[in-house]
Structure 1
Amino acid sequence: MKSDLWYFGKDLPTLNTSKMMLKKPTLINNKIINGSIKQMNGSAYNLIYFTEDNKFHSIGRENYHGFLTEGNEEINNDPIVQVSSGYHTNAILTKSGKVFLFSDYSSPSNGSLENFQKPKEYTYFKDNNITSPVTKLSGGEFQNFFLLENGDFYGLGSNSYKQFQPNPQTIKKHKMPISQDKYSKPTLISENVILISDSVCTRNCLYLTSSWTLWAQGDNSCSGCGVGKKRNIASPRKVIVKGEDNRNLRKIAIGLCMSVLLFDSGLYSCGMVDRSGHTNDTSEFTKLKFFNDIQIENVVCGCSYTIVLSKDSQVYGFGQIQESNSNLISRTPIKIKIPDYNRINPLGIGNGVYSIPIFTVSGTSLAKDFLNLYESQEFTDFEINGFKIHKYFVEFRLDSSIEKIQQILKKYSKEETNIFLIWVYSGLRRNSQLVNTICSQFGIQKPELKKLNDDLKKLYKEEETKDFKILVQDVDDLDDENEYEDEDEDDDYFEEIPVHKFILLARSGLFRELFKNISKIENEISNSVKDYSKKSIESLEILIKYFYNDDIELTADDDPQLVFDELSDAAEYYQLSENNNFNSLLELIKIQFKINEEK
């Protein structure tokens, strides 16, 4: 499955649009896109993205970034989690914490990385016995930023705007030398950092520390740091957002001329809409009331613009794509129409300096399914503060007895309880400060790191707690199709697949309907149900595991052809809430094992 790409702003030659500036989103021929995009990031001349099959690709000018078509074998064997781009350097982060850099530009005066036409692993941390892995990247104009798991925050590259100045109020360990004019050793900017920008096309940086202090440093000539109109911030300065608690800060996005902060309560921006400095020059972060009632999924910045993606896949924009062109989005936020978008797949947004990519993504439905399960208030077996819950699931997520959970939550209002239970079921923090406070009482110090999918993967392995059975008559045991009907009342003809009942309730519309019908007849949910899909036990076990981890995993004993053939209609048959993720995983199996689908 391939993603669709809509693009506007400064044209990239390989897009073949025949226009220098695309003044509105244009659907690009998807032959240009290789695979289903997971994340995309860009600069003035290039877009880099990676796909579901763990390949990374670039679009743009071949004399920038070492133009590539796909990643090397070393990266392919280690799942990519993020790509980031600067003017002349690209960075790739893998699941194991490895960083790969590549660039086309080598100039000591500009402090760029040496010329790597293919990605090369950046081994400085490993070579210097720094064992904490990298967890986040940011690429800048001639620089890269690295956030390590232990909270150390490093900058690498040109420091001509003082963006790498070490923070004396946060660094306790031995200070490393400051990089001045060229790439050499990275500079330790701060310790105990918990949030940085996902991508940077700027000469400055903003970061949040564990003391909930937001810091800014570097070039402030366009007031994009949010600390007044001082042009250069040689020493890190605290950023104060009036009326906000930094515990509720969810995202930082930085452009060259403007920056935005996403809080639980809304979106704040600062800086210049255009580089002339004559319009919308806001030197401190101010709230954009336009987004008060909009649930925001993501936000990115370019040079002088901001793009906002809502949770219902609506795109908004404000600012100016390029100061030398009249291609102005708006000085105030407006909706951006995406032509020929059918809303089957959710959207993703990326950023460039003068360009904006919008693309379809293979969305995961795991968190959404469990949130819907909670909000439906169906098939529950316990009640807390007026809300019905699934007792074992909540106990498992909080690693606490139901008695302790009741005792803690009775101190909170019904509204506060609801917000917390939404986090328990989905990981969504609608009030970060409240969720953090309640989680701390359960011994959960970093709720953002306690992922629903990680917990469900652990739960899958707990065989003794599975309270439900799917009874399957293996297709290999059947002499003919009628045998299903002749023997369906005799359990001896069926084999058992154990599962947690609430997993089926959350993930499959088919099983929800079956349980409703059983309840009407027996006044209770049975502890087993017979599956009449005529699929093998091997395939159904893989499907059930998908319910837990949103991934299709094959073992050496599995037959890929059999799995592909039998599960090709499973998303529709079992009424999965979003078919695209499941079907794209099947397509990946087809590619990996070179399966020829029967026509």
Structure 2
Amino acid sequence: MKSIASGYCHFLALSNEEKPRVYGWGDNLNKQLGFNSYKNDPKKPTLIKSLKEENIEQICCIGNCSFFLNKTTNILFGCGDSRNGMLGKPEFTGEYANLQKLHENVANVFGGHSDHTLMMKTDGKLYGFGLNQDGQLGLGHKNNVFQPTQIKLEFPVEDISKIRIAFLLTSILTNDGKLYVTGSDIKTGLGSDLTEFTQYPKFKNNNTIIKDIDCGWDLFAILTQDNEIWVQGKFYDFNCEENSLVIRKIQTGTNLTNELSTYNQMKCCDEDLIYFFFESNSYLTQDLEKLLKNGYFSDCNIQNIPVHKILIETRIGKTFDLIKKYLESNCKLNEIQDLLKWIYCDQMINSKRTNEILNHFGIQNAQKTKLLKNDLKQLLFNEQTSDFKLVVKNEEEDDDDDEEELYIHKFILAARSGLFLNMFQNIEENFQKVKDYSGKSLETIELLISFLYTDELPITADTDKEFIKEEFEDIVEYYQLNPTIPMIGYF
């Protein structure tokens, strides 16, 4: 499955296929599953056949309603209870609707633990409709809205990073880590008569950057860039009373007990549960961090920090001299160090400033569009950028002396393999190639190097997975890889 969604008592699932299919199960009393009356309340995922000709790429549930967005045609379909305007069609008021074409020119739809909906249209504007008795649509009044109405914001719509919706509350997180809310204080205590989006909360540290937000039915949670977790509303923990209307910190970045050091994302469930997703360094980023700390085989420097020219150029997409000149002229040492942390480890320490620097070089939304392993794929077996050759016996040739030369980057193999590190540290600097004496086949060594560059194995439907598994169980130990146990999880 590609994604799932849940309403009050019903569920949707979207398959992960070239042409996704939509399934539904649970309560269908209000036709919120789009089935005919004889298919009430299916107990297991059941195909919604009326959508089979549509290229549905997004599903969303709002209370007793369901939405299905065809992002090819930008048509939003929907069904369910529309009595408070939840479908955004005034002619359906007070009725139950079967599956309908609801709105055109829709780019995105947002829902949650609520009876109100937000919708982004292809004109780049944000619209809301549905229950609004507590100002949760941010329209400046408290009247229910039966058709999409534009929401006016004090910041550009393109600055929106995330929208999360509670029962009587709507929250927006911007790209620069600021939070705006509108709605009632009955459940969350965010303030009185918030009928328009207002920046909240006011942290003592004005430089606090918010990384993630989420809402339950009566719960609102904030995750900051410093790994602090703040909650408000009905939440149970050992330090606070239930249903506290005061925002309070329940976790700090210094008292985490989990071995994984950084919270990356969270998800709220109803009123007293939060799930946290950890941001774990991959083996690739762990190993390349050694390069940053130890400067193995560096060939240049920025502010006296040893770096690797080809890696810098590949990640930034500009010539090294241009990058070096700009950084040394316009950035503080700690800002350069933060940028290098992203280049080598895919980590944003000061995301706002690092993104500003990357934006200067034409890189937008780097954390989503510029993954380290994808950039390293450009270097894999690349003759133009390589600085070394690994000589491997080609067993497919009859000639015993026939060998293959693989183009590699010495610093990458040294970072990832203890064997290669020892080897490269003990050969003459003027050597341009070295022979592999593992006795493994050319195919196996190519798989190894692909893994060292990307943390991935090129597995397809035709791959002999048993062969790869057996080979890698030996390779991990022989080449002193991280981890030092067989990578069974890859098969």
Report the TM-score, using the length of structure 1 for normalisation: 0.59
In structure 1, distance between residues paired with 2:439 and 2:52: 52
RMSD: 5.3
In structure 2, distance between residues paired with 1:264 and 1:212: 16
In structure 2, distance between residues paired with 1:207 and 1:343: 39
Q: Which one of the candidate residues 240, 245, 248 is aligned to 2:153?
A: 240
Output aligned runs, 1:338-417, within 5 Å.
342-344=258-260, 349-358=266-275, 363=280, 365=282, 368=285, 372=289, 376=293, 378=295, 379-381=297-299, 390-397=308-315, 413-414=330-331
In structure 1, distance between residues paired with 2:343 and 2:392: 32
Residues 278, 542 of structure 1: CA spacing in aligned structure 2 closer, same or farther, 3 A cutoff? closer
Cross-structure match for 2:53: 127
CA displacement at 1:208 relative to structure 2: 5.2
Cross-structure match for 1:98: 20
Cross-structure match for 1:141: 63
Contact 1:196 1:206 (8 Å CA) reproduced: yes
Corresponding position: 1:468 with 2:385: no
In structure 1, distance between residues paired with 2:152 and 2:474: 53
> Could you list the per-position Cα deviations for residues 317-347 of structure 1 after superposition, in whole angstroms to 9, with x for gaps in the alignment?
332149xxx7336621322499995325876
- Secondary structure, in 3 states, of the residue corresponding to 2:259? coil
Amino acid at match of 2:100: K
Q: How many residues align?
A: 464
Contact 2:310 2:385 (8 Å CA) reproduced: no
Contact 1:275 1:304 (8 Å CA) reproduced: no
CA displacement at 1:113 relative to structure 2: 3.2
- Counting aligned pairs with the same residue, the percent is 21
Residues 202, 451 of structure 1: CA spacing in aligned structure 2 closer, same or farther, 3 A cutoff? farther
Residues 587, 454 of structure 1: CA spacing in aligned structure 2 closer, same or farther, 3 A cutoff? closer
Residues 346, 449 of structure 1: CA spacing in aligned structure 2 closer, same or farther, 3 A cutoff? closer
In structure 2, distance between residues paired with 1:421 and 1:151: 42
Corresponding position: 1:182 with 2:97: yes
Cross-structure match for 2:166: 255
Cross-structure match for 1:157: 79
CA displacement at 1:155 relative to structure 2: 5.0
In structure 2, distance between residues paired with 1:512 and 1:289: 52
Corresponding position: 1:450 with 2:369: yes
Amino acid at match of 2:218: S
In structure 2, distance between residues paired with 1:424 and 1:211: 35
Cross-structure match for 2:38: none
Contact 2:126 2:151 (8 Å CA) reproduced: yes
Contact 1:317 1:330 (8 Å CA) reproduced: no
Higher relative contact order (CA 8 A, sep 6+): 1
Cross-structure match for 1:107: 29
Contact 1:89 1:104 (8 Å CA) reproduced: yes
Residues 556, 164 of structure 1: CA spacing in aligned structure 2 closer, same or farther, 3 A cutoff? closer
Corresponding position: 1:587 with 2:452: no
In structure 2, distance between residues paired with 1:293 and 1:370: 32
Residues 113, 151 of structure 1: CA spacing in aligned structure 2 closer, same or farther, 3 A cutoff? closer
Q: Which one of the candidate residues 216, 223, 232 is aligned to 2:135?
A: 223
Residues 563, 270 of structure 1: CA spacing in aligned structure 2 closer, same or farther, 3 A cutoff? same
Q: Which one of the candidate residues 505, 510, 529 is aligned to 2:418?
A: 510
In structure 1, distance between residues paired with 2:444 and 2:137: 54
Cross-structure match for 2:221: 307
Residues 346, 402 of structure 1: CA spacing in aligned structure 2 closer, same or farther, 3 A cutoff? closer
In structure 2, distance between residues paired with 1:215 and 1:436: 32
Unaligned regions of 5+ residues in structure 1, if any? 1-79, 167-176, 476-491, 590-599
Report the TM-score, using the length of structure 2 for normalisation: 0.69
Q: Which one of the candidate residues 272, 285, 307 is aligned to 2:198?
A: 285
CA displacement at 1:437 relative to structure 2: 5.1
The structure with more radius of gyration:
2
* Deviates most, 306-315 or 214-223: 306-315
CA displacement at 1:350 relative to structure 2: 2.7
CA displacement at 1:556 relative to structure 2: 7.0
* Deviates most, 95-104 or 336-345: 336-345
Amino acid at match of 2:452: F
Cross-structure match for 1:86: 7
CA displacement at 1:141 relative to structure 2: 1.8
In structure 1, distance between residues paired with 2:47 and 2:382: 38
> Could you list the per-position Cα deviations for residues 558-596 of structure 1 after superposition, in whole angstroms to 9, with x for gaps in the alignment?
65445334535867886767x59x97x62362xxxxxxx
Amino acid at match of 2:213: V
Contact 2:115 2:131 (8 Å CA) reproduced: yes
In structure 1, distance between residues paired with 2:300 and 2:50: 53
Residues 511, 104 of structure 1: CA spacing in aligned structure 2 closer, same or farther, 3 A cutoff? same
In structure 2, distance between residues paired with 1:545 and 1:320: 49
Cross-structure match for 1:201: 113
> Could you list the per-position Cα deviations for residues 8-58 of structure 1 after superposition, in whole angstroms to 9, with x for gaps in the alignment?
xxxxxxxxxxxxxxxxxxxxxxxxxxxxxxxxxxxxxxxxxxxxxxxxxxx
Corresponding position: 1:327 with 2:242: yes
CA displacement at 1:96 relative to structure 2: 3.5
Residues 224, 413 of structure 1: CA spacing in aligned structure 2 closer, same or farther, 3 A cutoff? farther
